[in-house]
Structure formats: C-alpha cells, structure tokens
Amino acid sequence: MADSNFIDYVKIFCRSGKGGAGSRHFYRAKYIPKGGPDGGDGGRGGHIILRGNQNMWTLLPLKYQRHLFAGNGQSGSGGRSSGKDGDDVIVDVPCGTVVFDAETGDYLAEVTEDGQELKLLRGGRGGLGNWHFKSATNRTPRYAQPGEPAIEKTVILELKLLADVGLVGLPNAGKSTLLSAVSAARPKIADYPFTTMEPQLGIVGYRDNRSFVMADIPGIIEGASEGRGLGLRFLRHIERNAVLLFMVPADADDIRAEYELLLNELRQFNPELVDKPRVLAVSKSDMLDEELIEAITQELPEGVPHVFISAVTGFGLQALKDMLWREITSEDNRLLAEQAVHRRLDGRHRVPDEDAFIFENIPAPVPDEDELAEGEDEEWDDLDYDWDEDTEPIDFSN
Ligand SMILES: Nc1nc2c(ncn2[C@@H]2O[C@H](COP(=O)(O)OP(=O)(O)OP(=O)(O)O)[C@@H](O)[C@H]2O)c(=O)[nH]1
Ligand SMILES: [Mg+2]
C-alpha cells in the first residue's frame, strides 16, 4: 500500500491565525494638542477552511502537507487604521471527506458537495482599538483589546467515497468482475484473493439515461474486524452507501453461512451498517443449471431479496440493476442514507501507522507584533491628559 496514490486517512495539525491587537494610540498634530484616542482595531486571524472539490478522489495532497497554518492578523495603528486580516488557508479535499478530532475521536464535520466550504478552525478576532473605549468619564483610555489567540487542533480526515451501492463479499466472490461488466470501470480481476487492493468506483448506466455509482472494495474475510486480511480499513467507504450488495459465489460451500459471516464482520465495524438495505447476489451462476438454482434458493437466508447473476454471461444483470435501483430510490432508504451517523473513531478504526505520525518541525507561533511595540505608547502615559470640560472632543465618526 505504501506506493499507492489512494489515501483515505490522514492526520494533520492545524493552527488558525491569532487576531491582531488593538492599538492604543492618541491623535496628535500641530495645534491639536489633545486629539483624543484614535487607535485602530487589530485584523482578524486567518481561518483554516476545507473546500469540497469533485475533481479530487484522494487525500494524497494532504499527506505531503501535514501542517496547516493560517496567517496572523496585524495590529491596528493610529488614525483608526485597522490591521490587515491574516491570510486564510483553503485546502481542497474530495467530496465525502469526514473530519474527526484526533484526540477524542469525535466526529466534527464533513464535506459532501463540490465548492462547499467548511470552516475547520476560526481565526482569532482582532482586538478593538482604544478609541472604542472613550467615554464621558474616561476620555483617554490607555488600553486596547488584545487579539484573540490562535486555535490549534489535530484532526483526522477520512475519505468516504460517495457511492449508491457498495459491494461486500469475500475475496474472489466476483465483485470486480461485476463492476467491470456493468460499468466502464476496469478493475483488476484475477483468481487469487485480494486482487483488489483499494476501492474503485464505477458508474452504472440504467434505463432512460439514468445512472448510479457502485463502489468495489477489497474482499472481507473472517476476523477482518480484528485486522485480518486487509482488515476493515476499507469498510468506511460503504458507510455512506444507500444500498449494500452482498456477493456470494454459487460454488460456496454454505451460502447462508458466508452471508452471515459478512454481516457479522460489518456489525463489528459499525453496527449501523446492518440497518442498511441489502441485496444478495449469488454470483458465478453460469456454473449452475435450473435444478441447482432451485435447490440453492431453498437454502438462501430469509429476509433479504436475492438474485442469481453471472458477470461473465450477463445472466441476471438487468434484474440486479432493477432491484438495486428500486432500493436506491425508495423513499425510506433515502432518508436512512441521509441520516447516516458517523461512528466515532475508536481503536478499531484507526490506522496505526498514520496515527504514529510525530509532530516534527512545527514552527513556533510568530511573535506578537504588539508585544514588540510595547514601549511605543509609554511617553503618552506621562502626559497629564485631562480634557477641558468646554472642549468638544473631535468627532471621528465620519
Ligand atoms: N464462471 C465465472 N467466473 C467468474 C464470474 N465472476 C468472476 N469470476 C471469476 O472469479 C475470479 C475472481 O474474480 P474477481 O472479480 O477478481 O473477484 P473479487 O471479488 O473482486 O476478488 P478480490 O478483489 O480478490 O476481493 C476471477 O477468476 C473471475 O474470472 C462469473 O460470473 N462466472
Ligand atoms: Mg476485486
């Protein structure tokens, strides 16, 4: 997997920009000895923003950009000048990216649509300059607000492919062969287990120019929930699917047992997967005659619609598509898919290599400009700066 371009799990460290400090400045000019406070506001710190991009299909670019830092806001200055806002960092991610808090594993948010912007971390607000604080009783406020501090957070981004139908089956069940038969996708097909190493999407054409998306994921084996085989690493990609298509080959020893095994592994990963509508396809049915089909039908598990198919001869494929389409478009199932809740990222769902990622070379925050300029206003503090009761304060409001 090391040289794969398909990255669906990445841990990154983000820091928003801190707000700039408000200025404590007093206006002074020739013949205007007591110009009053005119310190401007600090600029807003930069946000960290994720933006959905439908042309992306992997989180790979983020793998090489583990630290995201937004710019700090600049401090305000005299003449009510506001400081410049810090630069935002906008990162493109594929649609279907889900964000988790890396420490607690809690679900935070998700990006599902092209162009959708998700404010991951808000930049600190800039502080108010001292002119905001002048009042009838205090006409020489010598203080201004500091900017809000930056926020730091480590998050895990998980990509969950957005497909309508997810294929679930043991290795060699014929999942990739089916995908290549019904769509233009050309996954690798071979008679050894784990031919498919990473998920693949295909668009399946249906009647009247309609279509739906099917996701082929690597085979699941018994004990996958404990990490055997390719583990459950890729099951996240069927969490967002509307329908699950279980595939059991016709030459399996016990079709019902194999079906239960798959169901059980899914349940271990995320119990909610079991609530999804399912369809059972008995693949490689070209090896069966009518008598056998009848015999097998008696043994199939109850409560799940089934269909006999052969990706090689095309037998049963139209019936399968009809069945899937019915499930995808059914009102109840749509609601279910929309309400899908993301499970927490607990031990079983983590990718240890990725989690061991160490925070090296994180640059320290940029020193606060305002602290550097601290001495600036000092001389003003010595001034006896009382207003004459009759003098009208200068009106800056326009
Ligand atoms: N006779 C027959 N053989 C099939 C059919 N579908 C797939 N096969 C064969 O079954 C073997 C496995 O097919 P794949 O499509 O690679 O299986 P898979 O489920 O994607 O397997 P993994 O990617 O390893 O999980 C291949 O040798 C296919 O030629 C079918 O409908 N009829
Ligand atoms: Mg395959």
pLDDT tens digits, one per residue of 232-291: 778 888 888 889 999 999 998 899 999 999 999 888 888 888 888 999 999 999 998 888
Cα–Cα distance between 196 and 34 in angstroms, integer?
78
Q: Is the shortest distance between the CB of 200 and ligand 1 below 6 Å? A: no
Q: Which of 389, 386, 370 minimizes the C-alpha distance to 26? A: 386
- Min mean pLDDT across 77-86, 169-178, 261-270, 331-340 is at 331-340
pLDDT tens digits, one per residue of 123-160: 999 999 998 998 888 888 988 999 999 999 999 999 98
Are 149 and 124 a contacting pair, CB within 8 Å?
yes
Side by side, which strands form the sheet with 67-69?
A: 67-69, 9-15, 152-159, 97-101, 107-111
> Ligand 1 centre and the CA of 178: distance in Å?
8
**Which whole number is the average pLDDT over 346-371?**
64
**Per-residue model confidence (pLDDT) at position 303:** 87
The pTM (predicted TM-score) of the whole model is 0.75
- For 148, other C-beta atoms within 10 Å of its C-beta total 21
Q: Which helix (H) or strand (E) holds 243?
A: strand 243-249
Are 229 and 171 a contacting pair, CB within 8 Å?
yes
Are 273 and 267 a contacting pair, CB within 8 Å?
yes
Q: Is the shortest distance between the CB of 190 and ligand 1 below 6 Å? A: yes
User: How does the average pLDDT of the chain come out, rounded?
Assistant: 84
**Per-residue model confidence (pLDDT) at position 380:** 43
Which protein residue has the closest C-alpha to ligand 1 atom 4?
284
Contacts of 66 (CB under 8 A, 6+ apart): 10, 11, 12, 13, 357
What are 225's two structure tokens? Answer: 């929930």
Reported as a pLDDT band with limits 50, 70 and 90, residue 375 is very low
Q: For the residues of 1-53, what is the DSSP string, one character each? A: -TT-S---EEEEEEEPPPPPPPP--B--BTTBTT--B-PPPPPPPPPEEEEEE
**Which whole number is the average pLDDT over 185-202?**
86
- Give yes or no for residue 198 having a pLDDT over 50: yes
* Position with higher pLDDT, 356 vs 237: 237
Q: For the residues of 53-85, what is the DSSP string, one character each? A: ETT---SHHHHT--EEEPPPPPPPBTTTBPPPP
In the structure, how many helices (H) and strands (E) does the chain have? Answer: 9, 14
Domains of the chain: 9-159+361-382 (2.70.210.12), 165-329 (3.40.50.300)
Which protein residue has the closest C-alpha to ligand 1 atom 30?
284
